[in-house]
Chain A
Amino acid sequence: MNQLLPKIRSAVSCNLDNQLLQATLPLFAAEKIEAIEWSFDTLYKVREIPIWFVELLHAFGNEGRLVGHGVYFSLFSGKWTAEQQRWLDHLRKVSSNFRFDHITEHFGFMTGEDFHKGAPISVPYKKETLRIGIDRLQRIREACACPVGLENLAFSYSLEEVQRHGEFLERLIEPVNGFIILDLHNVYCQLQNFELDFETLIRAYPLDRVREIHISGGSWDVSGIQPQRTIRRDTHDDAVPEAVFELLRKTLSVCPNLKFVVLEQLGIALHTTESQELFQQDFDHMQAIVNEFNGRNNLIPDNDFLLKQAVSLNEPVPESLELYRQQLELSSILEQAANYEEATRLLNNSTLAHSAWKTESWSPYMLETALRIAQKWRSGW
């Protein structure tokens, strides 16, 4: 390895979740963890963060090894809300307390009746949504004063949406010199659910803008309307499949600006000693792949994702009440419909019919999956 080239760091998602911390503790003790990713907006139920957790964040932050990963901002909500402003205020505050190397959020808008409920769902790729997304990213960038990025979605309604996702992401992040988190389990979901090949799909993403990679596990659903079909879900509740490690091996060499590779898993799936040991083995496996690549890496980073000039925010805040109404309508259908047939009937009679949402071309088994996702998360975490 060229000694002057920065090393890609092996990281874990690290939140105030006891089972996740129990699983991670031996890795900290063995000095294996090189960076941590904290979901800074998930502590809204916690009265006081323990001092030891604050010290842990500072220890990594002071070394440039702490990254923040938001969950609830809902980037593409058509309406600008007081909750989003509060989220930004919170981000500004934590960014002044901790030294983040970068901040990220999810692509999409959140279904759910309030700010902390629901799941991220995609939006039509058109000028109006692009304008809203760019504005919200500029606000995040202004609040955190460090590089910002977005994660690719795991869920798509149609093949066309999958094929256009990378290009739309690039147009979205370019004005803030942003980057993407390439979540390889999300890519794995797309490969499985739309029967695509990796080489074709990966080239649809702006690989020079990948600064972080996620790997995780997930689960299989069986379609009720097409029983021979299985759907891959990004549920973060199982060990990492070997296929995702293979995607990691293939991806490292095409991302010249990659800085962090993060292992994610939800604490609810780490309640047994066996599952915690599997998590530790997954980290070791991931780190071995990253270290092997670091040893022969000659890719030269050419983007620090910093801004060359101050962010200029739009006033008034761009909104689209038509988009907002459609999002409410879609959320209601996804959360309330008893089955795929009812959801289809409701969509055909909604304002989303024959619109940029292109609901007529949604894959039936993916609409069925959208119902399951929305109904799983409508009560929050």
Chain B
Amino acid sequence: MKLSPALLQAITLGVAVTALSSS
């Protein structure tokens, strides 16, 4: 299923921030 570019970017950023903070 196609996600909007904005949502995909928000998920990518959210995952990256969580990965950074968890380390």
Q: Could you tell me the distance in whole angstroms from the C-beta of A376 to the nearest C-beta in chain B?
A: 23
Interface on B for A, CB 8 Å cutoff? 1-4, 7-8, 10-15, 18-19, 22
Q: A52-B11, A52-B14, A56-B3 are known contacts; what are 12 more A-B pairs with Cβ within 8 Å?
A: A18-B15, A21-B11, A22-B15, A28-B3, A31-B1, A35-B1, A51-B10, A52-B10, A52-B13, A59-B1, A59-B7, A63-B1
Task: Pick the residue among A18, A31, A35, A55 that contacts B7 (CB under 8 A).
Answer: A55
Q: Do A55 and B1 touch (CB < 8 A)? A: no
Cβ–Cβ < 8 Å partners of A35 in chain B: 1
Main secondary structure of the interface of B (DSSP, over half): helix
In the complex, what's the smallest C-beta–C-beta distance from B1 to chain A, in angstroms?
6
| A82 interface residue per 8 A CB criterion | no
The contact of B14 among A31, A53, A59, A65, by CB within 8 Å, is A53
CB distance from A49 to the nearest CB of B (A): 11
Chain B residues with CB under 8 A of A28: 3, 8, 11
How many residues of A are counted as interface, with CB atoms below 8 angstroms from the partner's CB atoms? 20
Chain B, Cβ-Cβ closest to A20: B15
Contact B11 A22 (CB under 8 A): no
Residues in B whose Cβ lies below 8 Å from that of A5 = none
Which A residue's beta carbon lies closest to that of B17? A50
For chain A, residues 1 to 35, give those with C-beta under 8 angstroms from any C-beta of chain B: 18, 21-22, 25, 28-29, 31, 33-35
Within 8 A of B (CB), among A29-52: 29, 31, 33-35, 50-52
Nearest Cβ distance between residue B7 and chain A, in whole angstroms?
A: 5
A63 to B4 CA separation, bound complex (whole angstroms): 13
Chain B residues with CB under 8 A of A60? 1
Bound together, the chains give a CA A18 to CA B10 distance in angstroms of 14
A258 to chain B, nearest CB (A): 18
A65 partner, pick from B1, B8, B11, beta carbons under 8 A: B1
For the complex, give the distance between the alpha carbons of A55 and B3 in Å: 10
A65 to B3, CA, bound (A): 13
Contact A56 B11 (CB under 8 A): yes
User: Nearest chain A CB to B9's CB is how many angstroms away?
Assistant: 9
Q: Which chain B residue lies CB-closest to A60?
A: B1
